[in-house]
Amino acid sequence: MERKARTPELKALDVTGVIFCGGMSRRMGQDKALLEVEGQTLLQKANVLLEPHVSRVVLSTGPTPRYEKMGLPCVLDPEADMGPIGGLFAALTACETPWILALACDLPRLSEEAVLELLGARREGDKAVLFGSPQDPEPLFALYHHGLLPIVDAAIRSGHRRMTSALGATDRSSDQAMNHAVRWLPITDDNKGPFSNVNRPEDWREYQHGCKAATSDGEEHR
């Protein structure tokens, strides 16, 4: 039986971490990237999660620089009002590594285990690796290869503003995304919790309550 060649390990030098934090936080009513939990902002928490696994971390802040106090470089959308796909275009254009690891700042429940699972799932020929499915994708925690840039550019020129437009994931009637070598990782009842974002004040209160409960449980078992 012919043995398949092992996919080379994706090294940190091959990956740039990109924190997506260019939104206006309208539903939250305040800048959610700067919300604090346990002495860290959500932006700092995202940076700490990515930093050990990438060559460097940059911020996707929309058309203008933001969060200068973080001391991290910004990759800027070429124009205003491009939507999330503008951030993906900017990151793929500016970053010199073959891959970017995209992470939205409003996904604070994600763990290092999820990052390692994503990095370990990449196979030769993949252009993107993300959780979910073409019908229900999670594009803001994903691996994107530089080779996807022409497809992203074409999607923008066609007037699309969603990141999933570059994956074919907006076409719910077909599996068009597989034409672009997208690897989908399943979200199950066991692992879907970490993908809950904090868009609204009630989401933030729920997340804070969970953090306090986890801290209390830890103290009780000491």
Is 209 contained in some domain? yes
Bridge-based pairing of strands 40-41 and 36-37 is antiparallel
The whole-angstrom distance between residue 162's C-alpha and the CA centroid of its chain comes to 14
- Rounded-to-integer distance, Cα 32 and Cα 63, Å: 18
Residue tagged 């009780």 (tokens)? 220
Q: Establish if 196 belongs to a structural domain.
A: yes
pLDDT at 209: 80
Residue 2 lies in a domain: no
Residue with tokens 């070429």: 78
pLDDT at residue 165, as a whole number: 80
The band of 199, judged by pLDDT with boundaries at 50, 70 and 90, is: confident
Residue-level pLDDT at 99: 98
pLDDT confidence bin for 42, thresholds 50/70/90: very high
> What is the Rg, in whole angstroms, of the alpha carbon atoms belonging to the chain?
18
Mean pLDDT of 39-61: 96
In a domain, 198, yes or no: yes
Any bridge partners for residue 96, and if so which? Answer: none
- Residue with more model confidence, 27 or 127: 127
Sign of the Cα torsion 55, 60, 66, 67 reads: negative
Q: How many domains does the chain have?
A: 1
Classify residue 82: in a domain, yes or no.
yes
- CATH number of the domain at 21, please: 3.90.550.10
Q: What is the pLDDT of residues 2-19, one digit of tens each?
A: 444 557 778 999 999 999
Compare 172 and 217 and report the one with higher pLDDT.
217
Name the residue range of residue 56's domain.
12-220
Answer whether residue 4 is part of any domain.
no
Cα separation, 123 vs 129, in Å, equals: 9
Give residue 164's pLDDT.
84
Q: Which pLDDT tens digit goes with each residue over 55-83? A: 999 999 999 999 999 999 999 999 888 88
Place of tokens 């989908």: 184
User: What are residue 18's DSSP bridge partners?
Assistant: 58, 102
The b/e string for 128-137 (b: 16+ C-beta within 10 A; e otherwise) is bbbbbebeeb
Q: Tokens 């010199």 belong to which residue?
A: 96
CA distance 32 to 52: 24
User: Is 101 part of any domain?
Assistant: yes
Whether the predicted pLDDT of 87 surpasses 70: yes
Measured distance between the N- and C-terminal CA atoms of the chain, rounded to whole angstroms: 53
